[in-house]
Amino acid sequence: MKVKFKLISVVLALLLCAYIPFQVLANPQLSGDTISSALWWQVAVYNQVQQIQDQHYQGCVWGDSISSALVASLGEQNFNFAIGGMSSVSLLEQLKLVVPKGFQCEKSIIAIGTNDAMYGISDEQFVSNLKEAIA
């Protein structure tokens, strides 16, 4: 039963992650990134948290829809945290939820920024967010 629920959750998250970012792109919010308050984003991050606890990965990718497309080519020893529609703002929110879960990444790649421009996040804020994400 637990495996069935996990599979349903993963499928739902993937479907939502594929559909919702296109809605966001069609209706950008100039006031900033509020994706982390969306249920589909919370489900996607919840599923990530369930998968990564106490795991060790050679590499991790953090980013938006561009880097989320890499999921099939990364291999088993890597994890892709990228979610479509994310900016450096929602990346910080994601990190707050997943970092405490006891997983390890030997190397990380942060591939984000396209949506920051769309959301109207200033260059200074973007740089500050990236520095905080790296720290």
Say how many domains are in the chain.
Answer: 1
The bridge status of strand 78-80 relative to strand 104-111 is unpaired
Closest C-alpha to 11, from 60, 47, 53, 55? 47
Report pTM. 0.75
**What's the mean pLDDT in 112-130?**
94
Cα separation, 37 vs 41, in Å, equals 7
Phi, psi of 45 (to 5 degrees): -70, -40
SS3 134: helix
Question: Which tens digit of pLDDT belongs to each residue from 111-120?
Answer: 999 999 999 9
Q: State yes or no: pLDDT of 106 exceeds 80.
A: yes
Whichever domain contains 50, its CATH number is 3.40.50.1110
Q: State yes or no: pLDDT of 2 exceeds 80.
A: no
Beta-bridge partners for 108: 60
Which structural domain range is residue 111 located in? 2-134
Cα separation, 125 vs 129, in Å, equals 6
Higher pLDDT, 77 or 74: 77
